[in-house]
């Protein structure tokens, strides 16, 4: 089989979100301007582009009668939430409360799972009854939901919102017959009900809260064609100041995580969330998997190894809030694997030809991967992400700048963002680190500002048009 064709880096359309987050930038005095060069790419998202692209769906369908995809397909098809007899539970909940006591959370979890799984069954089988069911679920919630509340509201909006957005994206872009009126209602629900709950992430909590918000924000950005939301999530993955940002969650190169000393269930939720952010970004032309010398892979290998029964190094740590201190790794729920490994293994081993032995062991142990608890991660990775051969795929934009970016500074100089979205890339050889900077401001083009571990290579800065 030929390698999968990937879309180029997109040019991000400007939105006011860039100005709202400009405080994250490190300003510097502008140097002599560098002539801008661009690749002239059209500004557009790839659709469908939340977890599953058109190329992904074609690959999966071509293998449905072959192992291990066939077992994965049966796992999806036979799951309760994929059944054509599933009874929609939404339609009466104006308010969801994730707290004690809860309100409509059972309905929210069930329908988020069902919407996603029914949309997958439609996309893979072509049976319009699944599309009708998924549309019914999405319309039931967009027609009634007015607020998401409670102490754990960011988790409800983040985890469930991601699954609802993934379902909506598949239904919208696979000719399922969803009306323009109903699509507009879904967009309004995501913007007016979900986004206000996740817009500030969750800097006061453990990292899985942040990453839950991050993945929902990115998915909603794709579904609503809102690059401002997408950019905020991408920037936070690299540069967020609290526990969910990549290097605040996978805290060192050994792969120890911020929640490794808490328990293994929340640890797997957190790294699973970060992987889902990376997969959505990959579909849109951004290689977040490679960030910080493949730090996410280090996290997965560490977590997989420990949960397989091996001894791993543990450095006593305190998180960014100062509230959560861990002196030893936690054995709570050790070995209770969640279905988050197949997607990550196939990315690093098949797309990039990198070794991931412990992640591979867990993926094989779980085959076929099934659904995760509640509405946490998306699951079903054996079906959805198994690649049948190693396909060496380079990051997009391997020249002097990512596709659609204008070079603005050389190493050690200052990049002034004169136009575009405010997203600045720093790097070389197709590996880029990103920061969101307000249009009109400057940022130093240096390792110190962008926290790029690649040393000894002259890099450039460029801003997105």
Q: What is the 3-state secondary structure (H, E, C) of the chain?
A: CCCCCCCCCCCCCCCCHHHHCHHHCCCCCCCCCCCCCCCCCCCCCCCCCCCCCHHHHHHHHHCCCCCCHHHHHHHHHCCHHHCCCCCCCCCCCCEEECCCCCECHHHHHHHHHHHHHHHHHHHHHCCHHHHHHHHHHHHHHHCCCCEEECCCHHHHHHHHHHHHHHHHHHHHCCCCCCCHHHHHHHHHHHHHHHHHHHCCCCCCCCHHHHHHHHHHHHHHHHHCCCHHHHHHHHHHHHHCCCCCCHHHHECCCCCCECCCCCCHHHHHHHHHHHHHHHHHHHHCCCCCCCHHHHHHHHHHHHHHHHHCCCCCCCCCEECCCCCCEECCCCCCCCCCCCCCHHHHHHHHHHHCCCCCHHHHHHHHHHCCCCCCCCCCCCCCHHHHHCCCCCCCCCCCCCCCCCCCEEEEEECCCEEECCCCCCEEEEEECCEEEEEECCCCCEEECCHHHHCCCCCCCCCEEEEEC
**Is beta strand 147-149 parallel, antiparallel or unpaired with respect to 95-97?**
parallel
Q: Give the model's pLDDT for residue 197.
A: 99
From first to last of its 465 residues, the chain has per-residue pLDDT tens of 333 333 333 333 333 333 333 333 333 333 333 333 344 444 589 999 999 999 999 999 999 999 999 999 999 999 999 999 999 999 999 999 999 999 999 999 999 999 999 999 999 999 999 999 999 999 999 999 999 999 999 999 999 999 999 999 999 999 999 999 999 999 999 999 999 999 999 999 999 999 999 999 999 999 999 989 999 999 999 999 999 999 999 999 999 999 999 999 999 999 999 999 999 999 988 899 999 999 999 999 999 999 999 999 999 999 999 999 999 999 999 999 999 999 999 999 999 999 999 999 999 999 999 999 999 999 999 999 999 887 766 555 445 677 778 899 999 999 999 988 888 989 887 788 899 988 899 999 998 898 877 777 888 999 987
Q: Give the angle subtended at the CA of 454 by the CAs of 453 and 460, to the nearest 5°.
A: 110
Alpha carbon 113 to its chain centroid, in Å, reads 17
Task: Count CB-CB contacts under 10 A for residue 45.
Answer: 24
| Separation CA 446–CA 252 (nearest Å) | 21
Q: In angstroms, rounded to a whole number, what is the distance separating the alpha carbons of residues 335 and 287? A: 30
143 Cβ partners below 8 Å, 6+ apart?
91, 185
Nearest CA to 351 among 360, 362, 343?
A: 343
For residue 291, give the nearest of 125, 154, 432 by alpha carbon. Answer: 432
pTM of the model: 0.87
pLDDT at 3: 33
- pLDDT for res 159: 99
Question: Residue 35's pLDDT is what?
Answer: 38
Q: How far apart are CA 407 and CA 157, in angstroms?
A: 37
pLDDT the model gives residue 395: 52
């Amino acid at each position: 089989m030929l390698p999968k064709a990937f879309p180029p880096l997109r040019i991000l359309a400007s939105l006011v979100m860039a100005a709202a987050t400009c405080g994250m930038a490190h300003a510097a005095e502008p140097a002599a301007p560098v002539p801008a060069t661009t690749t002239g790419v059209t500004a557009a998202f790839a659709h469908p582009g939340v977890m599953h692209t058109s190329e992904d769906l074609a690959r999966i369908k071509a293998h449905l009668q072959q192992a291990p995809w066939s077992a994965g397909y049966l796992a999806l098809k036979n799951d309760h939430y994929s059944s054509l007899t599933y009874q929609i539970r939404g339609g009466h909940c104006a308010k969801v409360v994730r707290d004690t006591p809860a309100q409509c959370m059972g309905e929210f979890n069930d329908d988020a799972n069902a919407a996603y799984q029914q949309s997958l069954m439609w996309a893979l089988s072509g049976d319009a009854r699944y599309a009708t069911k998924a549309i019914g679920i999405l319309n039931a919630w967009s027609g009634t939901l007015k607020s998401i509340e409670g102490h754990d509201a960011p988790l409800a909006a983040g985890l469930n919102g991601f699954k609802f957005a993934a379902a909506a994206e598949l239904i919208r872009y696979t000719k399922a017959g969803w009306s323009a009126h109903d699509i507009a209602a879904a967009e309004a629900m995501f913007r007016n009900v979900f986004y206000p709950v996740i817009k500030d992430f969750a800097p006061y909590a453990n990292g899985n809260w942040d990453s839950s918000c991050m993945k929902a924000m990115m998915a909603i950005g794709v579904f609503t064609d809102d690059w401002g939301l997408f950019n905020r999530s991408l920037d936070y993955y690299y540069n967020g100041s609290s526990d969910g940002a990549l290097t605040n969650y996978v805290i060192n190169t050994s792969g120890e995580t911020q929640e490794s000393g808490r328990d293994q269930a929340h640890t797997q939720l957190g790294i699973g969330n970060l992987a889902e952010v990376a997969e959505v970004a990959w579909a849109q032309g951004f290689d977040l998997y490679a960030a910080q010398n493949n730090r996410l892979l280090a996290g997965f290998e560490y977590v997989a190894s420990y949960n397989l029964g091996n001894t791993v190094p543990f450095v006593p740590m305190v998180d960014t809030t100062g509230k959560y201190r861990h002196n030893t790794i936690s054995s709570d729920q050790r070995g209770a694997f969640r279905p988050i490994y197949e997607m990550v293994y196939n990315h690093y081993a098949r797309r990039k030809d990198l070794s991931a032995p412990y992640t591979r062991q867990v993926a094989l142990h779980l085959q076929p991967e099934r659904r995760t608890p509640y509405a946490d991660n998306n699951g079903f990775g054996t079906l959805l992400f198994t690649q049948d051969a190693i396909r060496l795929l380079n990051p997009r934009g391997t020249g002097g700048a990512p596709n659609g970016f204008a070079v603005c500074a050389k190493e050690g100089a200052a990049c002034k963002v004169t136009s575009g979205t405010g997203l600045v890339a720093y790097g070389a050889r197709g590996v880029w680190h990103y920061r969101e900077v307000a249009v009109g401001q400057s940022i130093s083009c240096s390792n110190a500002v962008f926290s790029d571990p690649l040393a000894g290579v002259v890099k450039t800065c460029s801003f997105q048009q």
